[in-house]
Structures are given as structure tokens and as C-alpha cells.
Amino acid sequence: MIRRLPALLARTGIYWLLLLLLVLASAAIPEFRTPANLANVLTQSAPLAVLAVGQTLVITAGLIDLSVGQLAGLVVVLVCALADGSSAAAVPVVALALLLAAAVGALNGVLSNRLRIDPLILTFGMLSVLQGVIFVWTDRSIGRAPPELLWLANERLLGVPVSLVLVAAVALACGAILRRSRLGLHLAALGGSEESARRVGVPTARVRLAVFTLSGLSAGLAGILIAGRLGTGYPMAGAGYELDAIVAVVLGGTALAGGRGSIAGTLAAVLVLGIVSNALNLLQISAFVQMVAKGLIVIAAILANQPRARTRVVAA
């Protein structure tokens, strides 16, 4: 039993950390435990949750996608500029935005397969391209989000944020991919060892294309939520989301080298980051102190949550 303790902590550490933060914040800050504030934490965390779930698939495959933040930002600008507050335009514009996001993800996959460039370098280059496209289009806030997106991103049903429905749908779909599909097995195999995966017949090129496309689609969905939150096409809306998503994925127990992924762990980590930010804001802590505090928590949690021996088992 004692020998199994480190492995048990590696699998469950993020959940204990989440519980500890909930207890401490609720005890120390009366405003934190109000239903309205807890719902606000969930609402604010929704875009990052969607983005991080998609990034979990990518990192499980031993890849990385740094372009998702700016891709989400491009979707924000696109949706608000084209819809400009019109309900009639909401559905076709959202469909176009999701198609574009999936296409950019697929392009990352195609370039990764054809050029054999390290995905870190490739997607960083795509990040720069997308950022340039945004600022060529506009350098200031543009257009308005349609009312339907405002409702999706901000409203609540029976006290529960509507955006949680989208988060739950994305998480369940990606969890099913990891645990119950051939693609999930292929992702873990690719992340464990690309050469070994190829030798046992895994179509590595198709798997890479599929996972980058799914990552792009998740960025598009996150961008729709961000557009609803902001209400306008702010050109810097997606800045920093890619790093937050990677932190949440690794914090949640997914091996950064690939081979093992946890959707549930990623969602728990997103909540940890959201609670820390919310609690520090309620305490009126300086933004610079918040950066230090969150950085220390992330480092400590990652050290506690990463297994000592690398495995190739996929958990959800």
C-alpha cells in the first residue's frame, strides 16, 4: 500500500488540491462561497476549459499546439465583425468560424506531416501568422456579438451557467475519444513512441491530422465563448490562452511528453486556476503578486502530480 502511494497521489493529486483550495477559500473569504460567485468562477473558466480539453488530446499524442490562443482570438474578431449583433447572422457566422478554425487546425496537421517540423516551432509560426491576420484586419475592437452568444457565455439556468453545457459536451466527447475509440489508442501510442506506433500499424500521419483538426475546432468553440463574454471583437482576446491551456493540461496529470492523458484532470486543473484567480481578486491582491502565487502553485502541483515512471496508459 505504501509503495502505491506515490502513484496514487500522482493520479489524484489535482483533485485533492482542488478540494483544499475550495475549503480554504470558502473559510477565508465569505464572498467566495456565495452561489453567484461560484457560478461566476465556472463561467469565467469555460473558454479555457474547452481550449484545454482540446489541448489534452494534442499533448497525449506527444505534440503541442501554440496557435490555439490566437486562433480563438481570430474567431472572436470574425464572429463579432460579421454578425455585428445580428441574431439572423448568428448561426451562419458561427458555422463559418468553426469551419475556419477546423481548417487552420487541419493545416497545422498537413504541414506537420509534410514538412516534419517540430510542432512547437510549426504552431508558434502559425500563432504569429494568425496574430498578423488579426491586426491586418483591425487594431481595435470591432463589431458586436449576437445576443445568442451573450446568452450562451453569460446566462444561467437554475443557477447553473449555460456555458457548462458546452464544456460538458466537449469534455464527454473528448473523453470518449481517449477512452473508448481507436483514435484514443492511437493518440497514446503516438505519444509513447512514434516509431513503435508506426511499426505496429498506427497511421501516424492521419492521427496527427485528426488531432490538430480537433484542436483547431476546440479553439473555435472557445473563441465563441470568449466573444460572448466580451461582447465585441477585441483583437487581443486570445492572447495567453495557449499557455494557460498547456499549464492546465500538465497540471491535470497529462504527460507533457505524451502517452497519457486525463480529461477529468484537465478540467480539475482549470478550476484550480480559476479559483486561485478569483480568490486573489476578492482579496484585492496586486496582479503582480497574483502572478507569483499562481506560478508557485502551478510548479508545486506539477511536481506532485507527475508520475516518477512514465506509463502509456490513458486515463480519463
pLDDT at 62 > cutoff 70:
yes
Burial class of residue 16 (count of CB atoms within 10 Å of its CB; 0-12, 13-18, 19+): middle
CB 262 within 8 A of CB 191: no
Count of structural domains, the chain: 1
In degrees and rounded to multiples of 5, residue 162 shows phi and psi of -60, -35
Q: Give the SS3 label for residue 88.
A: coil
Is residue 1 included in any domain, yes or no? no
Start-to-end CA span in the chain (Å): 23
In degrees and rounded to multiples of 5, residue 219 shows phi and psi of -65, -35
Q: Give the SS3 label for residue 172.
A: helix
CATH number of the domain enclosing 76: 1.10.3470
Is residue 61 included in any domain, yes or no? yes
pLDDT tens digits, one per residue of 234-264 = 999 999 899 889 989 988 988 888 888 899 9
Is residue 312 included in any domain, yes or no? no
pLDDT at 25 > cutoff 80:
yes
Instruction: Quote the percentage of the chain above a pLDDT of 70.
Output: 90
Average pLDDT over residues 60-76: 96
Is residue 160 included in any domain, yes or no? yes
| DSSP string across 32-68 | TTSHHHHHHHHHHHHHHHHHHHHHHHHHHTT---TTH
Rounded distance between C-alpha atoms, residue 55 and residue 211, angstroms: 9
Q: Which residue has the higher pLDDT, 146 or 300?
A: 146
Report long-range pairs for 277-286 (Cβ below 8 Å, ≥24 apart).
277/44, 278/25, 278/32, 278/37, 278/40, 278/41, 278/44, 279/21, 279/25, 279/28, 279/29, 279/32, 282/29, 282/31, 282/32, 282/37, 283/29
CB 149 within 8 A of CB 227: yes
pLDDT value of residue 13: 80
Rounded distance between C-alpha atoms, residue 143 and residue 120, angstroms: 33
pLDDT at 315 > cutoff 70:
no
Q: Which domain holds residue 288?
A: 10-305
In this prediction the pTM is 0.89
Q: Is the CA virtual torsion 65, 251, 280, 229 positive or negative?
A: positive
Place of cell 470591432: 142
Burial class of residue 191 (count of CB atoms within 10 Å of its CB; 0-12, 13-18, 19+): buried
Is residue 27 included in any domain, yes or no? yes
Instruction: For the beta carbon of residue 111, count every other beta carbon within 10 angstroms.
Output: 17
pLDDT value of residue 3: 56
Instruction: For the beta carbon of residue 31, count every other beta carbon within 10 angstroms.
Output: 12
In degrees and rounded to multiples of 5, residue 157 shows phi and psi of -115, 120
pLDDT at 136 > cutoff 50:
yes
Is residue 141 included in any domain, yes or no? yes
pLDDT tens digits, one per residue of 151-201 = 999 988 877 889 999 999 999 999 999 988 999 999 999 998 888 988 888
pLDDT value of residue 2: 52
Place of cell 487552420: 104
In degrees and rounded to multiples of 5, residue 281 shows phi and psi of -65, -40
Is residue 165 included in any domain, yes or no? yes
pLDDT value of residue 10: 59
Is residue 315 included in any domain, yes or no? no
Nearest CA among 79, 80, 69, 63 for reference residue 216: 69
The cell numbers describing 189, all together, are 501510442
